[in-house]
Amino acid sequence: MASTSPEVPAGQDKLSFFSILTGDWMDVPEKSKLGNCRSVIEFEKLNRLGEGTYGIVYCARDNRSNDIVALKKMRMEREKDGIPISGLREINILLHLRHRNIVELKEVVVGKSLDSIFLVMQYCEQDLASLLDNMAAPFSESQVKCIMLQLFQGLQYLHENFIIHRDLKVSNLLMTDKGSVKIADFGLARKFAVPAGPMTPRVVTLWYRAPEILLGSRKQTTAVDMWSAGCIFGELLAHRPLLPGRSEIHQLDMVVEMFGTPNESIWPGFSELPALENFSLKKQPYNNLRHTFTWLSESGIRLLNFLFMYDPAKRATAEECVESSYFREQPYSCDPELMPSFPQHRLKRKTQVENKAEDQKLKSRSSGSFHDFGGSGSGSATKVKKMKN
């Protein structure tokens, strides 16, 4: 038998509930309105750090403990039915993660309105993207090893706990003044099962996106994170983005130009990927990693090639990377506490102009993330077939 919801009495407070026991509307006591969450007014905003796809991040001081934290305001502008699923996933995942190389979610706090929700995160003094843009001299190979070893250890922990990050890039890697690298921004992260089920292909910023995603596969494994880690590794070594594509077509061109054209023998199931119904890849038989990193040792080249295996099933795991001989040869990885510090980036109070410039830089780094297959990069050598009727 159908029933209708009772009408809210005129002038009734929004924070009221209808009791099925008494049949009356009851006010929520003041002390219970925030549930177990603290109010955001207990935090003093110091400055705006940046803006991502899923929220704005501030540097703030916890007035209760006097600790400096990162305060991430969740985007709720377009939400009509409560917290977005991406936010719920991020909260759920981070609350259960505790590792030295994963940014820590301390708690969730709320504002006066129901759509004002903040994540209180561990504060890190800088992110790798801004450091790479502003450093006077690039990281040494010893420092690159220190960063990558911590990244692989963090990924090993995530993957052992059945979590795929799905948005690894230098701007999502934070670093403390003591050289500790933290994986951050879990808005696209997902828990996975074995065997892996289908997931949305609209993930991972374009420059760091694995070829199986570019070619339309809905099956995603931890291998998508390892490809992104390879792109980060190459970027740190080359002192510039390794595969900075302008569109998905151009990104595929750059991948083929660097690693050669994939085929069924090296990647079983390759010819059945959905995107190949619409175009074919240019023929390029050579792997150009050695020509790109002429000074890198053989074990370094092997590790890069292992991370860039076309077949996701054969791609390096985080555990295998941690055990790589590359990290056991000179120059050895430096101790995190011996990493250079960057005091000019600490708690810098920025003007509106500086904040706007930084926001534009953050957006430009992820521009072209979700282009359709319709466009092609200038000078693209990819041959486009006629669409099937």
CATH number at residue 97: 3.30.200.20
**Whether residues 174 and 286 fall in one domain:** yes
> Is 115 one of the catalytic residues?
no
Sequence-ordered list of residues with C-beta below 8 angstroms from that of 318, at least 6 positions apart, any chain: 152, 153, 155, 156, 158, 159, 222, 225, 226, 229
Domain assignment present for 5: no
**Whether residues 166 and 215 fall in one domain:** yes
**Whether residues 159 and 135 fall in one domain:** yes
Smallest Cα–Cα separation from 157: which of 94, 230, 205?
A: 94
Q: DSSP state, 243?
A: S
**Whether residues 162 and 276 fall in one domain:** yes
**Whether residues 71 and 211 fall in one domain:** no
Smallest Cα–Cα separation from 72: which of 105, 98, 39?
A: 105
**Whether residues 54 and 138 fall in one domain:** no
Q: Which of 62, 67, 115, 167 is catalytic?
A: 167
The total number of structural domains that make up the chain: 2
**Whether residues 197 and 112 fall in one domain:** no
What pLDDT is recorded for position 350? 43
Smallest Cα–Cα separation from 249: which of 386, 382, 388?
A: 382
How many whole angstroms separate alpha carbon 121 and alpha carbon 72? Answer: 7
Q: Which pair of structure tokens corresponds to residue 233?
A: 């590794």
Smallest Cα–Cα separation from 67: which of 295, 254, 347, 289?
A: 347
Main-chain dihedrals φ then ψ at residue 50, nearest 5 degrees: 170, 180
Domain assignment present for 288: yes
Domain assignment present for 16: no
Tell me the pLDDT of the chain (389 aa) as tens digits: 444 445 545 544 455 655 666 777 766 666 555 567 899 999 999 988 877 656 688 999 999 999 999 998 887 766 566 677 777 888 889 999 999 999 999 999 988 776 788 999 999 988 899 889 888 889 999 999 999 999 999 999 999 999 999 999 999 999 998 999 999 989 889 988 765 555 665 668 999 999 999 999 888 899 999 999 999 999 999 999 999 999 999 999 999 999 999 999 999 999 999 999 888 899 999 999 999 999 999 999 999 999 999 999 999 999 999 999 999 999 999 999 999 877 655 544 344 444 444 455 544 544 443 333 333 333 444 443 433 43
Domain boundary among the residues 122, 150, 165 is at 122
Domain assignment present for 153: yes
CA angle 139, 368, 117 (to 5 degrees): 85
Domain assignment present for 335: yes
Contact 236, 148 (CB under 8 A): yes
Sequence-ordered list of residues with C-beta below 8 angstroms from that of 136, at least 6 positions apart, any chain: none
Domain assignment present for 361: no
Residue 194, CA distances (Å) to 42, 135, 163, 220, 318 in order: 43, 42, 12, 11, 17
**Whether residues 181 and 99 fall in one domain:** no
**Whether residues 210 and 81 fall in one domain:** no
Instruction: Indicate whether this model's pTM tops 0.75.
Output: yes
**Whether residues 268 and 208 fall in one domain:** yes
Domain assignment present for 383: no
Domain assignment present for 353: no
How many whole angstroms separate alpha carbon 43 and alpha carbon 61? Answer: 5
Contact 200, 218 (CB under 8 A): yes
What residues make up the domain containing 88? 44-122
Domain boundary among the residues 75, 102, 122 is at 122
**Whether residues 141 and 251 fall in one domain:** yes
Q: For position 158, which CATH number holds?
A: 1.10.510.10
**Whether residues 111 and 134 fall in one domain:** no
Contact 280, 199 (CB under 8 A): no
